[in-house]
């Protein structure tokens, strides 16, 4: 979590607060999440698509600690209260049972902020319905991160890194939804050979087009 916090600080150009040695009492919050709350107190301000709940807004539903949700509440994530780095569970509706999404909370939190960074980046582009050959060309030469695939927005949602950019891909019926974000124009410059009329948003220079 300290590595993730340092990356968040670098990506968003934010200073981390001074951290006193040791940790405050758990208070029913798993260690991975508690440490991240301590290191980056304003995590909620970084969320664009999904919401990481503030510590005071955490709740227990059906024996699981709900800590994140899609911004309209259509999908939620939870973890085990008593475990330090338990699996993360997801579900679409509150009436559905929780299903394992990612094996560990710390790994999920890394993916969570990679997703938010890709979507919220100033230098970015996205497509809702990219055809499979176009997707294959886009991720050719990219490094697929060795992380479990997400079930939201659809399984398998995967994470890649290429030329300093974050790429998130997710199936969408017979197409693919793709989100690409970078910290600088140079990070996303490779997209210029891939962008066409099928892309919904293009802001490679920091301006929407």
Its pTM stands at 0.91
Task: Return mean pLDDT, the chain.
Answer: 90
| pLDDT above 70: residue 50 | yes
Position 2 scores a pLDDT of 86
pLDDT tens digits, one per residue of 62-79: 999 999 999 888 999 999
Position 205 scores a pLDDT of 87
Instruction: Mark out the alpha helices in the chain (DSSP H runs).
Output: 2-11, 31-39, 105-120, 132-139
Q: How far, in Å, CA of 126 to CA of 175, rounded? A: 13
Q: How many CA atoms lie within 13 A of 143 on its CB side?
A: 7
The residue range of the domain holding 7 is 2-112
pLDDT tens digits, one per residue of 158-175: 999 998 999 999 999 999
* Same-domain status, 75 and 47: yes
* Same-domain status, 167 and 67: no
Instruction: Categorize the per-residue pLDDT at 55 as very low, low, confident or very high, splitting at 50, 70 and 90.
Output: confident
Position 72 scores a pLDDT of 86
Give pairs for 13-18: CB < 8 Å, separation 24+: 14/40, 16/40, 17/41
Q: Which residues lie closer than 8 Å to 42 by C-beta, 6 or more apart? A: none
* Same-domain status, 25 and 94: yes
Domain boundary among 81, 112, 143: 112
Strands 201-203 and 123-130, how do they pair?
antiparallel
pLDDT tens digits, one per residue of 138-157: 999 899 999 999 999 999 99
* Same-domain status, 151 and 83: no
| pLDDT above 60: residue 86 | yes
Which residues are 76's β-sheet partners? Answer: 69, 91
| pLDDT above 60: residue 25 | no
Q: In angstroms, how far is CA 103 from the centroid of its own chain? A: 15
In-domain check, residue 209: no
* Same-domain status, 8 and 26: yes
Q: How far, in Å, CA of 151 to CA of 76, rounded? A: 11
More confident of the two residues 151 and 26:
151
| pLDDT above 80: residue 26 | no
Cβ contact 5:40 at 8 Å: yes
Position 102 scores a pLDDT of 95
* Same-domain status, 22 and 105: yes
């Amino acid at each position: 979590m300290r590595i993730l916090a340092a990356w968040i600080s670098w990506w968003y150009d934010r200073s981390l607060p001074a951290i006193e040695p040791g940790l405050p009492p758990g208070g029913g919050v798993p260690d991975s999440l508690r440490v991240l709350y301590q290191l980056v107190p304003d995590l909620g301000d970084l969320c664009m698509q999904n919401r990481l709940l503030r510590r005071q807004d955490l709740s227990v539903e059906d024996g699981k600690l709900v800590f994140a949700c899609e911004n309209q509440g259509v999908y939620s994530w939870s973890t085990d209260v008593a475990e330090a780095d338990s699996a993360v569970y997801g579900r679409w509706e509150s009436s559905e049972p929780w299903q394992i999404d990612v094996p560990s909370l710390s790994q999920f939190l890394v993916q969570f902020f990679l997703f938010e960074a890709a979507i919220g980046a100033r230098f970015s582009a996205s497509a809702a319905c990219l055809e499979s050959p176009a997707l294959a060309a886009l991720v050719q030469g990219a490094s697929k991160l060795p992380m479990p695939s997400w079930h939201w927005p659809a399984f398998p949602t995967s994470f890649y890194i290429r030329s300093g950019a974050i790429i998130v891909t997710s199936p969408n019926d017979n197409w693919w939804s793709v989100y690409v974000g970078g910290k600088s124009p140079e990070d996303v410059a490779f997209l210029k050979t891939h962008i066409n009329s099928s892309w919904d948003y293009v802001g490679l220079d920091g301006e929407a087009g």
